[in-house]
Amino acid sequence: MRIILLVAFIACAFSINAQVMHGTYYVAAKTGLSMREKPDASAKVLDKIPYGTKVTTIDEEGDWKVIITENMTGYWKKISFNNKTGYIVDSYLLPWAPPKLAAIKDLKQYLAQNAAPAGSKVVARSGPANQLTEGGWELTKQLFKNGSEYHQFYAYEYNSDTYFLPGFSLQQGFLLCRLIPEFKEVFGEKEEFPLKSQIYKKDGREYDIKVIRRNNDDTDTSPFSIEKIKLGFENGAYYEFEMYMQDNQLVIFFSGGV
């Protein structure tokens, strides 16, 4: 029995170590991701890795080299592609296959793209179906086999969607939202990752964005100290967007109402 347990322990430790040493990701840069000869933005481009390509990083000794692009702090990661070995910026990688650009319109469809439902939807409501009156509400929940989940809430003149994505970071959530039309009025395709609270105008609308950091330290500019990003704007109705971490899950909340 002890020998069996020891073998099981070694196998488990090897598996965990392999996950730490090597990471599997997907390219989420629309125009492709440059693989360079050295971990430097001015180094020779060896190849262009297409959008959606699955890549596995190669572990190296020493510290990873930092690079900042579009306010996102990333690292140069070593990979092999097309029989070449080089370096890519991991800020444009996602843990899941990125949205199929011609087909995916909202985050609910994206969850379905990456995993099958884990059972049927669960629906709770305050009254009979199809009779949503003032003060009434309906809540639908769907869990997927990869642990992701969405909640849809409908009430009188108000609705919201909440999404749970295990294994995503805030920066990866920002990158994902830029790729999905549902959030085109939240983060434009060319917008940078928000690092500070501000009020600004875009497309004739006023936006109020709040970047909430640990210990409320506004002098800290690191993206890794951000706990929550909140954004509000009017476009007929008033819309609110929130993105934050809950344990190992990224939570994205989007609501609209009068």
* Mean pLDDT of the region 143-171: 96
Residue 84 pLDDT greater than 60, yes or no: yes
111 falls within a domain:
yes
* Mean pLDDT of the region 245-249: 95
Residue 3 pLDDT greater than 80, yes or no: no
Give residue 128's pLDDT.
Answer: 66
Residue 142 pLDDT greater than 70, yes or no: yes
Q: What is the pLDDT of residues 225-236, one digit of tens each?
A: 999 999 999 999
Percent of the chain with pLDDT over 90: 76
What is the pLDDT confidence band of residue 213, given thresholds at 50, 70 and 90?
very high
Of 63-72, 157-166, 187-196, 210-219, least confident by mean pLDDT is: 210-219
Instruction: Give the mean pLDDT of the chain.
Output: 89
Residues 205 and 244 grouped into a single domain: yes
Residues 113 and 88 grouped into a single domain: no
99 falls within a domain:
no
* Mean pLDDT of the region 91-108: 97
DSSP the chain: -HHHHHHHHHHHHHHHHHHHH--EEEE--TT-EEEESSSSTTSPEEEEEPTT-EEEEE--SSPPPEEEETTEEEEEEEEEETTEEEEEEGGGEESSPPP-TTT--SHHHHHHHHS-BSS--EEEESSSTT---TT-EEEEEEEBTTS-EEEEEEETTEEEEEEEEET--HHHHHHHHHHSGGGTTTS-TTPPPP-S-EEEEETTEEEEEEEEEGGG-TT---GGGEEEEEEEEEESEEEEEEEEEETTEEEEEEEEE-
Residue 21 pLDDT greater than 50, yes or no: no
Residue-number span of the structural domain to which 6 is assigned: 2-94
CATH of the domain at 46: 2.30.30.40
Residues 252 and 139 grouped into a single domain: yes
* Mean pLDDT of the region 117-135: 82
Q: What is the pLDDT of residues 186-209, one digit of tens each?
A: 999 989 999 999 999 998 999 999
101 falls within a domain:
no
What is the pLDDT confidence band of residue 8, given thresholds at 50, 70 and 90?
very low
Give residue 249's pLDDT.
Answer: 96
102 falls within a domain:
no
pTM of the model: 0.87
Number of structural domains, the chain? Answer: 2
Give residue 131's pLDDT.
Answer: 66
* Mean pLDDT of the region 159-177: 97
85 falls within a domain:
yes
